[in-house]
């Protein structure tokens, strides 16, 4: 089945689970190289990151820790531009190499806000790993060091990403149909 319906919208399959996992392996290899001998703490941004975080972690061979934070700024298919605070970060990241794990960087406001918030906690370094990046949508300069896919300005679901709560369970990625 190559199209699905969620609420009022139809979505067409665009990236298969095999392709996703293959590209995540490529990014994991880069992290393994760049953080050899270090012990980064990966910081997953819930809810959207959970599948990406799991697949990425399975491919990391370096010593690493993972923790999750929650923040949300998205309603339906339009970014509200309203960024909420970072919830759930109880452990210290002072002196640590932090890698944020995000599902998708769209306008960049969420990641800009995260970098500012985490920056006040004196980490040794912070980088971003994002499953998707929509360069055409970026409103603020955000440096995504580990980007798995660069995609056009289209709303996607699957592999952890949702449309109003649905679609996170899909193993493949689907693009909204025009
Ligand atoms: P930003 O602050 O960069 O505009 O928003 C990033 C957040 O918006 C992502 O973490 C994600 O939750 C949501 N988002 C942006 N684009 C999409 C998309 O195409 N599909 C889905 N499901 N969520 C998106
Ligand atoms: Mg997100």
Q: Which ligand approaches the C-alpha of residue 70 most closely?
A: 2
What is the chain's mean pLDDT, rounded? 93
Is a pLDDT exceeding 70 seen at residue 155? yes
Which residue is closest in CA terms to ligand 1's atom 8? Answer: 74
Q: Total domain count for the chain? A: 1
Measuring CA to CA, which residue among 71, 76, 126, 136 is closest to residue 103?
71
Cα 70 to ligand 1 centroid, rounded to whole Å: 14
Name the region of 160 (left: φ>0; alpha: ψ -120 to 50; beta: rest).
left
SS (H, E, C) the chain: CCEEEECCEEEEEEECHHHHHHHHHHHHHHHHHHCCCCCCEEEEEECCCHHHHHHHHHCCCCCCEEEEEECCCEECCEECCCCCCCECCCCCCCCCEEEEEEEEECCCHHHHHHHHHHHCCCCCEEEEEEEEECHHHCCCCCCCCEEEEECCCCCEEECCECECCECCCCCCEEEECC
Q: Is the pLDDT of residue 83 over 80?
A: no
Confidence of residue 84 (pLDDT cuts 50, 70, 90): low
> What residue ranges line ligand 1, CB within 6 angstroms?
48, 73-74, 79, 102-110, 155-157, 161-163
- Nearest Cα neighbor of 2 from 173, 149, 178, 152 is 173
Question: What CATH number is attached to the domain comprising 76?
Answer: 3.40.50.2020
What is the model's pLDDT at position 6?
A: 98
Residue 3 within any structural domain of the chain: no
In which band, very low, low, confident or very high, does the pLDDT at 86 lie, cut at 50, 70 and 90? confident
The model's pLDDT over 122-153, given as tens digits with 9 standing for 90+, comes to: 999 999 999 999 999 999 999 999 999 999 99
Residue 1 in any domain: the answer is no
Q: What is the domain range of residue 98?
A: 10-176
Asked if residue 4 is part of any domain, the answer here is no
Atom in ligand 1 nearest the alpha carbon of residue 79: 4
- Is residue 16 predicted with pLDDT exceeding 90? yes
The verdict on residue 5 lying in a domain is: no
- Supply φ then ψ for residue 63, to 5 degrees: -70, 130
Examine residue 71 and state whether it is found in any structural domain, yes or no: yes
pLDDT exceeds cutoff 90 at 77: no
For the question of residue 106 being annotated catalytic, the response is yes
Banded pLDDT at 82 (limits 50, 70, 90): low
**Average confidence (pLDDT) over 55-68:** 98
Residue 2, pLDDT above cutoff 60: yes
User: Is the peptide bond prior to 47 cis by the omega test (within 30 degrees of 0)?
Assistant: yes
pLDDT of residue 71: 84
């Amino acid at each position: 089945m190559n199209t699905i319906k969620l609420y009022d919208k139809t979505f067409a399959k665009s990236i298969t689970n095999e392709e996703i996992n293959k590209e995540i392996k490529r990014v994991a290899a880069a992290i393994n190289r760049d953080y050899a001998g270090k012990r980064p703490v990966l910081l997953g941004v819930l809810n959207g990151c959970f599948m990406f975080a799991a697949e990425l972690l399975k491919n990391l061979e370096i010593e690493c820790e993972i923790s999750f934070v929650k923040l949300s700024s998205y309603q339906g298919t339009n970014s509200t531009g309203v960024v909420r605070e970072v919830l759930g970060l109880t452990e210290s990241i002072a002196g640590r190499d932090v890698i944020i794990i995000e599902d998708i960087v769209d306008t960049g406001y969420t990641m800009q806000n995260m970098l500012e918030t985490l920056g006040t906690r004196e980490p040794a370094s912070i980088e971003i790993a994002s499953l998707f990046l929509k360069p055409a949508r970026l409103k603020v300069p955000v440096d995504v060091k580990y980007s798995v896919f660069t995609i056009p300005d289209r709303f996607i679901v699957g592999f952890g990403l949702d449309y109003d709560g649905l679609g996170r369970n899909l193993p493949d990625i689907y693009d909204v149909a025009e």
